[in-house]
Amino acid sequence: MNATRIERNNRGAAMKRRVTTIGLLPTLLCLISACSDQGVQPAKPATSSDTPTVASSSTSIHPPPAVQARLRTEPAALRAVPELVTAPGEVALDLKQVAKITSRIGGQVERIHVQLGDRVKKGQPLIAIGSLQLDQLIEEYLVGKAQADVAENSFRRTEKLRADDIVTERKLIEDKGLYLETQARFQHIREKLTNMGVSTAQLDRGQHEDRHLYTLTAPIAGTVVTQSAVRGQGVGPGDELFDVVDTGRVWVFANLPIEQARKFKEGDSGTITPKGGEAVVAPLTYLAPIVDETTRTIRVRFEVANPTGQLKPREYVEVALGWSGSPVVTVPVSAITTIEKTRGLFLESEGGYTFLPIETGREGGGWIEIRRGVKEGDRVVSDGVFDLKNVLLKEHIGAGE
Structure confidence at residue 398 (pLDDT): 62
Closest CA to 313 of 157, 90, 20: 90
Can you tell me the distance from the alpha carbon of 363 to that of 244, in angstroms, rounded to the nearest whole number? Answer: 46
SS3 state of residue 290? coil
Can you tell me the distance from the alpha carbon of 47 to that of 227, in angstroms, rounded to the nearest whole number? Answer: 89
Name the CATH code of domain 65-81+327-398 (choices 2.70.150.10, 3.20.20.70, 3.30.450.20, 2.40.420.20): 2.40.420.20
Mark the ranges of the chain whose per-residue pLDDT is less than 70.
1-58, 202, 205-212, 398-401
Per-domain boundaries in the chain = 65-81+327-398, 106-244, 249-322
Supply angle C-alpha 275, 280, 283, rounded to 5.
130
Can you tell me the distance from the alpha carbon of 80 to that of 386, in angstroms, rounded to the nearest whole number? Answer: 27
Angle between helices 169-195 and 132-163 (to 10 degrees): 150
DSSP state letter for 310: -
Structure confidence at residue 38 (pLDDT): 43
Q: Identity (one letter) of the amino acid at 140? A: E
First-residue to last-residue Cα distance in the chain: 92
Structure confidence at residue 150 (pLDDT): 94
- Helix intervals (H) in 92-168: 132-163
Q: 238: alpha, beta or left, given left = phi > 0 and alpha = psi -120 to 50? A: left
SS3 state of residue 259? helix
Q: Which CATH superfamily is domain 249-322 in?
A: Efflux pump adaptor protein, beta barrel domain (2.40.30.170)
Supply angle C-alpha 106, 235, 104, rounded to 5.
50
Structure confidence at residue 11 (pLDDT): 55
Q: Are 236 and 295 in contact (CB under 8 A)?
A: no
Name the CATH code of domain 106-244 (choices 3.40.50.2300, 1.10.287.470, 1.20.1300.10, 2.40.110.10): 1.10.287.470
